[in-house]
Structure 1
Amino acid sequence: MDEPPRKDHIIAAAKNFLGTSDFQLDHYNAKPVSDKIVGFMGKHLLVTVTVWVEGKKQDILFFVKMLPTSESHRSFLAELRYFQKEIAFYEVFEPIMTSLLPSEHPLPIPSCYFTVGGRSGDAGPPAKSEDTEMIILEDVSKKGYVIRDKMIPLDLEHARIVMRTIARFHAASFLMKSNSPSARRPDNANYMDEVFLPAKEMFLTKERTSSGYQWAMATAKTTSSAVAGFWPEHFGSDEKKEEIRQRVKECWGKLFQITQPSEKYFNVLCHGDVWVNNIMFRDNAMSGKEKKPVDALLVDLQLIRFAPVAIDLLLFLHTSTTRKFRQDNLNELLEEYHKQLGNIVGKKELDELMSLEKLKESMSELGLFGKVIATGYLPFILNIEEVDPFLKAGSQEPPDFMTFALRDRGEKVLANAKASEHYKVRLMEAYQEILEHLKLWK
């Protein structure tokens, strides 16, 4: 670790945590969350802060997110405003959302106790800035919240919990809408201009110079290469590979539009990145009984976007469950989501803005998003360290996304598939689904 969190930042976070400045800092220790790569978008630290309060020693546990030190990696994050978006969420949206939600349905996120940097301008701080962007959050693992194995698709019990959790997150947008003068509008497509501008889409855009666009185009190449390797008898020729690449590129073009605010479907502040590693589950703690999930939190709010609710639901379902699971359980899960929304917003008010039928219609019409995003996400989020030397175990720095992602990774996909049956099944399923959509599946 090059620079631990500064002492004055730790003191400020402790003050916010304790709700008082009447304490003394004894010391604090910072260590990496894990000796494995836990994400591409920053350094993650666990910080234990020991303070004296009214003559008693007390430990406070924080989860700290900091920028990586690589200059190119920092530039990538600055371009897409990842840290600025999460800071904007906690500084702008979270207070409003919390004030609107009933106390029995709190916002399902970790508490934030301190942020620094990234709150103004389009660019992040210089690469060697002393006041680097940083977010200090509660360590919810101490409350029993854990992340499940990313390789294992969720079962129905866990998926129900997630659908209710996403509904709690989205509910605040419905309540925000009804408390705004804009509520009298026939649609809410331009509502972003007044309230949700910090959630403007920065990653999945059609701007050819953007890193997000370049990643999507590299993903199209990866898809065609991997498909050729999985099914060489059907897709192994150069002609077929090029056809798949071009057709998948066209799909990404449609996806760039889908992620924008809709004039047809109700838009909400979406989490933007709901997959297994960004969901922390808490099981019941009753002795003598089988553990079952009872609650979940959503973490990592760096990809918030203002878009139809289907965007969050499709991303979650296509990255965290199997195709057969979705075929068997989609209607039940959508009903679970809509019911939870109605419990918070009010059934009458919800049906005026988004009936269950309208929700199901949006999931069908925008379904391409889930199919395409799976081909982009799964090769990265299910990657195996032993297969790719670029993912160095023990490193405190995340891999530079620009170097890691903006290339044809077809060979790596096939190597991962050879090393893991779970990976192979998930990737082949995702590729088959997009090929069927394109009417190229044999």
Structure 2
Amino acid sequence: MATVAVEQNHQVNRITEEDIKIILASYNRTNEEMIIESYSVHSASEKMLGFLAEYWKVKVLLSDRKVLYFFIKAISRSNAAKANMVKEMRLFEKESFFYTVIKENIENIVPGLKPWAPRLITALNDAIVFEDLNATQYKLRNKFERFDMAHTLEALKTLARLHASSIVYEEKKSKQTMGEYKGLNYEFEKSLDKGGYHISSEWFCQCMTGALEAIKFLSKYDDTEINLIESRWRDVWSTALTLSDFSPQRRNVICHRDLWNNNLMFHYSEDEEKRLEPDDCLLVDFQAVRYQQPAGDVMLLLCCNLDPKFREKNIEMFLEFYYEELGKILNNYNVEIYEILSKEEFLASAEEQRLWGLVVCACLIPQFWLGDDQTTEIFSDNAQFDEILSKNKGQFIKKMMENSSNYKQKVMEIFEEIVDRYCMPAK
């Protein structure tokens, strides 16, 4: 590989010429000669794609006129509060290990499964490099447009592939070791930790107390009901956390656990009437990955991305669809789903895991149900980011609700669903 002829990198000290060479060396699995004509680096978007990292795009022009595109996720250098949170929770380290070790190990033993995530190219210092999904026509949906039937089914198919991959991996490893293999959690327990989802986490506590503050001041409940809610609130949220732990009674899988809109990308094709319909979905951002019941991911996906009324109207069908899809994939690898997880067990698990899905949605929706300009302005500022996510999230939520009836409606409907299902007496 020859040296760069022309450099067009305007992000000083972010991605260097040496980094470009490392990226191409990792990308070039056939060891063909690659001569770089030029390269450029720019921000992946004018809006914020996520809350804890910086995102960059790299375009490399080779001497044979071939153009390569890469996507980079990096620890923030412009926002110390973001960088500190990522480092304290070990999110970057966790995601990098997941891609370079756990995912690679699974793919080596489970060949031929349709991808459920982008291809990792390489890991740099404080940055991870992926294939650029936009270059292969994958797109994010508008976060204010809840998933319809077609998008939900494509997302569930992809989730089934992710979960099936770890089941098949464990079944094959168990056969190879004559039943001695103890599972992915035992093999990689240190890298499949709770992340920010534990009761002593400042971030989680702010999510919990911030939601309660909003309910106390801006919800439909009277004083007696508020006292009851307040007395039960911490126990409800603590119970949600226990649902994300390893279950000794039911089958566990590698779960994504961060399935809000910007972490699912869709590919589209035209139907007979020339309308674009989703025909594939890939998951990105595995910084919250953990080993738990698959229904936890399913319910999180449905709670975070569907209108609640649409979700409840179709939830039985969605659960049936996911379970059947998981069974089909396992059957392709000679694994019988009923020996892994019966339908009755899965449906019971899904009802239990609804609380996990709602609580995670309650943690995330106050940040993502904001306009792009507003999100960028608020969360790009170091002081505001730290204040909102680590010190006083309740004040932020109340302010946003007072300024926007739409924000109040969408956020409060999740808060109130938690209250009505888990804090109030059964009717």
- Is TM more than 0.5 here? yes
Cα distance in structure 2, aligned partners of 1:45 and 1:399: 23
Deviations 1:329-357 (A, max 9, x none): 11111111111111111186211111222
Look up the match of 2:23: 13
Look up the match of 1:32: 43
Deviations 1:192-248 (A, max 9, x none): 122454222222124x3xxxx22222222211221233336x34x6x8666544522
Look up the match of 2:54: 43
Q: 1:383 to 1:246 in 2, by over 3 A?
A: farther
1:87 counterpart = 2:110: no
Alignment of 1:356-375 (within 5 A): 356-375=343-362
**Contact in 2 for aligned 1:40/1:401 (Cα 8 Å):** no
**Contact in 1 for aligned 2:150/2:278 (Cα 8 Å):** yes
Cα distance in structure 2, aligned partners of 1:100 and 1:402: 42
**Contact in 2 for aligned 1:278/1:298 (Cα 8 Å):** yes
SS at match of 1:29: strand
Tell me which amino acid in the other structure corresponds to 2:155: V
Look up the match of 2:246: 261
Number of residues of Structure 1 aligned to a counterpart in Structure 2: 411
Corresponding residue to 1:214 among 197, 202, 222: 202
Report how far residue 295 of structure 1 moved. Answer: 0.4
Look up the match of 2:126: 133
Cα distance in structure 1, aligned partners of 2:73 and 2:376: 24
**Contact in 2 for aligned 1:225/1:241 (Cα 8 Å):** no
Cα distance in structure 2, aligned partners of 1:180 and 1:101: 10
Corresponding residue to 1:271 among 237, 242, 256: 256
Corresponding residue to 1:382 among 369, 384, 398: 369
SS at match of 1:64: strand
TM-score after normalising by structure 1: 0.84
Look up the match of 1:123: none
Give the RMSD, CA atoms, in angstroms: 2.8
Q: 1:58 to 1:331 in 2, by over 3 A?
A: same
Higher mean C-alpha displacement, 216-225 vs 331-340: 216-225
Look up the match of 2:83: 74
Unaligned runs of 5+ in 2: 1-10
The structure with higher relative contact order (CA 8 Å, sep 6+) is: 1
Report how far residue 153 of structure 1 moved. Answer: 1.2
**Contact in 2 for aligned 1:101/1:107 (Cα 8 Å):** no
Cα distance in structure 1, aligned partners of 2:94 and 2:273: 43
TM-score after normalising by structure 2: 0.87
Report how far residue 407 of structure 1 moved. Answer: 3.2
Of Structure 1 and Structure 2, the greater helix share is in 2
**Contact in 1 for aligned 2:362/2:415 (Cα 8 Å):** yes
Q: 1:377 to 1:108 in 2, by over 3 A?
A: same
**Contact in 2 for aligned 1:224/1:241 (Cα 8 Å):** no
SS at match of 1:65: strand
SS at match of 1:284: strand
Tell me which amino acid in the other structure corresponds to 2:244: T
1:157 counterpart = 2:150: yes
